[in-house]
Structure 1
Amino acid sequence: MKLRFLILLLFVISLLMHFTWKYLVPYCDTTSIYWYFAKDRNWNPKAKILVLGDSQIVSGILPETIAEIESVSLDEVLFLPKPSQQPEGILSDTLSITSKLPNLRKVYVNISPLNTSKNSITDAHKQLYYSFGGFEFHHITEPLLRKAYFSNLADLSWKFVIQMFPYFGLSSNTNRIFYDPIVKEDLKRRRLEFDAIQNSMRLKSGAWIWKSINDDPTLKEGDKFPNLDTTILAGKRELSIQLWVQTIQEWEKQKLEVVILRIPFSPQMEMDLATKNANGVTDSLFDWMEKTHFKNQRVVYDFRSSFLKDFGYFADLTHLNQKGRDAFGNLLKKTLLDHTNSSAKGM
């Protein structure tokens, strides 16, 4: 009798959490809010172009830009980047989605030191997956994904606990409301960001100038970042490299062309990356991609040096603002269309 009551109680609690947790999401951080909405993106099974990546693409590229470059309609571009995305997420999306897109011919993705090294974003991605990511069977059957998400039984158990009791996935976000004065002051802005992200999903497939609310946040040349230190990005996360290699091989198996972008960071961050030699691992991966013989086209476009004097093109250290997105869109169109025309002449 007691066991039956306990099971019924847990069921009721789980049901209550599933019905009410959406009302707590507006009080979460920006990235969590984005992941929450990204789960329910609508997409066209007739898509020909797939765009994957992290918040650099979210903030720096419009689906319209890709559609213009590829000479396809806007609804034939499937735009699925997410902030704090890592190669395990890219591989998972590839395995989940590409087989359902019979007309798919090309993938766009961005690679940078943020997704080839072990850093705070790596850990953030894992927690975001636990809290907002959908469970797929290949997260267990694929050895690299299992290693990334479920390195031990406790990790797997935690994922299923959150699936049943979603409040646990919000605990780190909501608990801070009660003790962190900065978070308390930020609650109104979070609600506005919630609305802005929701609108971006509906109108722009999720393309959104990072943390903008009807404004265009802009860096200035004199802005100082005393805590900026990209040393950790110089390290190699072996698992990330293995995941990237498997993802590239998966695209090759599906006969997809791939465009790899190194989207520029702010001048301050690019200079620090250069000083700390933090581009080495990413550059080695680019070299491997360019030197390895693939049947289908693989092209790497490195734009890291494009905006080294254009401080006003950035919303923060890592994201382009609207002015920067427009400039980068023009640069991308010119570069890729010139490359396409050159290739056509060569044939």
Structure 2
Amino acid sequence: MNVPGFHTDQPDQLDQASRTGRSGGDVIRPHAEDAFAGELAALAAADDRPRPERWKLSPWAVATYLLGGVLPDGTVVTPKYIGPRRVVEVAVSTLATDRALLLLGVPGTAKTWLSEHLAAAVSGDSTLLVQGTAGTTEEAVRYGWDYARLLAHGPGREALVPGPVMRAMARGATVRVEELTRMPADVQDALITVLSEKTLPVPELGEEVQAVRGFNLVATANDRDRGVNELSGALRRRFNTVVLPLPATHADEVDIVARRVAQLGRSLDLPAVGDGTDEIRRVVTVFRELREGITADGRTRVKSPSGTLSTAEAISVVTGGLALAAHFGDGVLRAGDVAAGILGAVVRDPVADRAMWHEYLETVVRERDGWQDLYRACREVSS
């Protein structure tokens, strides 16, 4: 039976309080449903396709929100994810079934970003979140207790503190579990009954919470964490796994970096700078060549560093460079603004990575036409 007091139609008081004022201008990073509220509203108005119960949009509209498009009324929906369309379609259709979704990929492949936007488009709320770490406890996945009330009155519904999973089950919403494989194995296994039976037992009360229609779970995992707390076979069978690839082409990665840097610049109120596309292209080129172990022309093999050099790290390097150019430069993004960021991203091992980086500078960057300014800037910060 359901635990009385868990309402499925409206967010609870804690949700209401946490959402108050979230869309204000002082928020550094608005949640997806707030940042793109206009697009979501336009999609809902134009969406005449069947919607699964308690979904804010149809699967078609969710995919359009993620991939971008132009609506009949002329509203431009910006792409949130740049990658294979089929990946998004499989992810969305999975959430329309009773199977949970696992987004798997190397660091920086937009797993968290995609999970947030999926939850925002499906449920209108991306804040039901369990953050997986080595210290995540079973209470974070299931529920906790108000210990003052527990000591005063003993176990009771009033002392129960529902976690994000329990709240999502009761409301028929999407809950997110980030970095699932970072969580201890016994904590991971607390999800098995939730995903298989769609119930969450509360043995202290002799009751259970049953998931209502619309409930589902999106988890993310880094495939470089295999062997840390690898998923049990029983838990993995409860998920439909979608592997998120790295950007397929140089142009795709440049587009992703440029879009995210522009969004971050606006949210951080960075002073406007000149067009930084050329430097973005060079940062992406360096990262892709070192990541793939070969130059863009396919002629020279290069050693790869110990780090991942993901798209997310390229975004961080360029954003830091924009801040330098705006506050301490002439307002134009130049090689000197990104050199220190590239060094910090590439050289994680002070011995092996530094030797690899100097070899790349001397054999590739130094010899490339039009890259002398980047070579000098990188040598200056590397010395």
Same fold (TM over 0.5): no
Name the one with the larger strand percent. 2
Name the one with the larger helix percent. 1
Q: Please report the TM-score for the alignment, with normalisation by the length of structure 1.
A: 0.28
Q: Please report the TM-score for the alignment, with normalisation by the length of structure 2.
A: 0.26
Larger Cα Rg: Structure 1 or Structure 2?
2
Task: Tell which has more relative contact order, 1 or 2 (C-alpha 8 A, sep 6+).
Answer: 1
